[in-house]
């Protein structure tokens, strides 16, 4: 196990498969000259645009230059997805408001285009060095490795290869060149892999939009959170069924079995049978109660008629004073209603413990945002602490792009606000 772990970093220096090595080689070959061509065309367009700046045509040419830079960046992004197995999200479309000035400012301020310009300028010297250096190294490896064979076919004195100054007076001397060529060819895929690793870093940093990268990272985290929460909910349901309703049903079956045996006996003890049936009846009612509570925990039936009725029902059974106000211009999607309901239920539970016996619940929609506010009049001091109840609510809000804010000064009141985007 130790040897395997020690060898893992070394394996990452080489491509995973020969196909990956070929793809990375093709990437260096294709993108070695592409930035040079791109930069030359962009420089010509920029010079022409600056020369014609006093007239409107020059500004239009400059916007075309930025548009071309965006297209060249997109070409590198698509090649990276094909050859480097590096899927980069496409850049966002540029919003163009009506009007010539709005159009010019949108085009000249295109961040994707300027990032593409930066990538091409940085990639130009690196790409040329990577293409020429890796090509020369590979050609040297092939020439040295095959030198014993080309030596036998060469009729010139000293039998040399002038390109790399490879020469030998006798055939045995060619074996040293062959060995060096074998070493170079063995290390060459690792060199190409290292160079394309630098390219991957440049592509992720400059070609991919930072907002999209952050969005993808956020979605990956929230997806993992949602999957973990769903698995935990399934385990909770299984545990509640096993320890609750199933245990009651098993007890009921045992009591009914005993009653059946008593009825089959020659002497029937009606009092004992009555006791067994009463106990089985109690087990059945308890199982129904637990199944009803479990179903309510999955999806409260009152939610089918909207948040107002569901939260009012929740407040009436809270065991303390809780006022509910729901002011919605339209009904939210069922998924958001469920999130808001359970968040309100947990916040009301916290208020019952720390809120001096009363709280206020307000649900409203403003500017395409669904907002839940719970106010209690406790002593304050509430905060979002990792592993705490408020942190759990915040984690459940994240998959829906929601956020939780807490204002709880010493002495109160505590105001907890959950905000969710309400898409039209």
Domain residue limits at 143: 18-207
Instruction: Looking at the structure, tell me whether residues 294 and 308 fall in a common domain.
Output: no
Residue 48, domain member (yes or no): yes
Instruction: Look at residues 250, 271, 298 and tell me which one is the last residue of a structural domain.
Output: 298
Residue 158 pLDDT class (50, 70, 90 cuts): low
Each residue's pLDDT tens digit, 368-403: 788 888 888 777 777 877 777 788 788 777 777 778
Residue 102 reports pLDDT greater than 80: no
Instruction: Looking at the structure, tell me whether residues 63 and 175 fall in a common domain.
Output: yes
Instruction: Look at residues 298, 318, 336 and tell me which one is the last residue of a structural domain.
Output: 298
Each residue's pLDDT tens digit, 410-419: 877 888 888 8
Q: What are the b/e assignments for 53-73, b being 16+ CB within 10 Å?
A: eeeeeebebbbebbbbbbebb
- What pLDDT, on the 0 to 100 scale, is given for residue 3? 39
Residue 286, domain member (yes or no): yes
Residue 70, domain member (yes or no): yes
Residue 174, domain member (yes or no): yes
Q: In total, how many domains does the chain have?
A: 3
Residue 60 reports pLDDT greater than 70: yes
Each residue's pLDDT tens digit, 225-245: 555 565 566 666 666 666 666
pTM of the model: 0.47
Q: Which residues contact 25 (CB under 8 A, 6 or more apart)?
A: 134, 192
- What pLDDT, on the 0 to 100 scale, is given for residue 281? 78
Residue 222, domain member (yes or no): no
Residue 262 reports pLDDT greater than 80: no
Residue 12, domain member (yes or no): no
Residue 2 reports pLDDT greater than 70: no
Instruction: Looking at the structure, tell me whether residues 268 and 316 fall in a common domain.
Output: no
More confident residue, 317 or 135: 135
Instruction: Looking at the structure, tell me whether residues 152 and 95 fall in a common domain.
Output: yes
Q: Are strands 321-327 and 358-366 parallel, antiparallel or unpaired?
A: parallel
- What pLDDT, on the 0 to 100 scale, is given for residue 6? 41
Instruction: Looking at the structure, tell me whether residues 45 and 151 fall in a common domain.
Output: yes
Instruction: Looking at the structure, tell me whether residues 337 and 400 fall in a common domain.
Output: yes
Instruction: Looking at the structure, tell me whether residues 107 and 24 fall in a common domain.
Output: yes
- What pLDDT, on the 0 to 100 scale, is given for residue 229? 60
- What pLDDT, on the 0 to 100 scale, is given for residue 232? 62
CA distance 405 to 225: 19
Instruction: Looking at the structure, tell me whether residues 123 and 65 fall in a common domain.
Output: yes
Phi, psi of 75 (to 5 degrees): -65, -45
- What pLDDT, on the 0 to 100 scale, is given for residue 91? 67
Mean pLDDT of 344-350: 82
Instruction: Looking at the structure, tell me whether residues 56 and 203 fall in a common domain.
Output: yes
Q: CA separation (Å) from 329 to 2, 341, 367, 369?
A: 63, 18, 11, 11
Burial of 248 (0-12, 13-18, 19+ CB in 10 A): buried
On whether the CB atoms of residues 119 and 203 are closer than 8 A, the answer is yes
- What pLDDT, on the 0 to 100 scale, is given for residue 293? 62
Residue 3, domain member (yes or no): no
Q: What does pLDDT average to over the chain?
A: 75
Instruction: Looking at the structure, tell me whether residues 37 and 165 fall in a common domain.
Output: yes
Instruction: Looking at the structure, tell me whether residues 285 and 340 fall in a common domain.
Output: no
Instruction: Look at residues 270, 298, 326 and tell me which one is the last residue of a structural domain.
Output: 298
CA distance 238 to 298: 12
Mean pLDDT of 175-202: 86
Mean pLDDT of 69-75: 82
Each residue's pLDDT tens digit, 269-279: 777 777 877 77
CA distance 145 to 151: 11
Instruction: Looking at the structure, tell me whether residues 29 and 128 fall in a common domain.
Output: yes
Mean pLDDT of 194-198: 86
- What pLDDT, on the 0 to 100 scale, is given for residue 256? 76
- What pLDDT, on the 0 to 100 scale, is given for residue 7? 45
């Amino acid at each position: 196990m130790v040897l395997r772990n020690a060898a893992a970093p070394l394996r990452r220096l080489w491509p995973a498969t020969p196909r990956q090595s070929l793809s990375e080689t093709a990437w260096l070959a294709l993108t070695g000259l592409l930035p040079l061509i791109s930069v030359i065309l962009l420089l010509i367009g920029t010079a022409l645009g600056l020369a014609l700046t006093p007239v409107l045509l020059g500004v239009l040419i400059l916007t075309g230059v930025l548009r071309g830079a965006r297209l060249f960046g997109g070409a590198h992004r698509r090649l990276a997805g094909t050859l480097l197995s590096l899927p980069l999200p496409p850049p966002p479309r540029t919003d163009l408001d009506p009007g010539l000035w709005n159009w010019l400012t949108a085009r000249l301020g295109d961040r994707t285009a300027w990032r593409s310009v930066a990538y091409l300028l940085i990639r130009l010297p690196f790409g040329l060095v990577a293409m020429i250096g890796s090509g020369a190294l590979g050609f040297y490896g092939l020439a040295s490795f095959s030198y014993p064979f080309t030596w036998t076919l060469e009729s010139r004195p000293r039998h040399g290869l002038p390109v790399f100054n490879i020469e030998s007076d006798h055939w045995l001397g060619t074996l040293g060149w062959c060995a060096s060529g074998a070493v170079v060819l063995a290390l060459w895929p690792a060199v190409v892999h290292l160079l394309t690793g630098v390219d991957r870093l440049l592509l992720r940093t400059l070609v991919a939009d930072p907002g999209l990268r952050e969005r993808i990272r956020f979605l990956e985290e929230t997806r993992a959170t949602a999957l973990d929460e769903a698995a935990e909910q399934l385990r909770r349901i299984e545990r509640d069924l096993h320890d609750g309703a199933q245990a009651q049903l098993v007890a009921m079956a045992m009591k009914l079995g005993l009653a059946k045996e008593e009825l089959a006996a020659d002497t029937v003890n009606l009092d004992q049978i009555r006791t067994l049936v009463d106990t089985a009846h109690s087990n059945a009612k308890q199982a129904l109660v637990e199944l009803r509570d479990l179903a309510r925990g999955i999806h409260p039936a009152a939610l089918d008629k909207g948040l107002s009725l569901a939260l009012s029902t929740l407040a009436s059974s809270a065991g303390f004073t809780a006022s509910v106000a729901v002011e919605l211009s339209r009904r939210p999607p069922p998924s958001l209603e469920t999130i808001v309901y359970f968040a309100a239920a947990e916040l009301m539970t916290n208020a019952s413990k720390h809120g001096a016996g009363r709280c206020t619940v307000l649900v409203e929609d403003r500017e395409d945002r669904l907002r839940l506010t719970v106010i209690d009049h406790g002593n304050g001091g509430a905060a979002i602490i990792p592993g705490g109840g408020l942190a759990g609510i915040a984690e459940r809000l994240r998959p829906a792009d929601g956020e939780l804010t807490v204002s709880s000064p010493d002495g109160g009141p505590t105001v907890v606000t959950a905000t969710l985007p309400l898409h039209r």
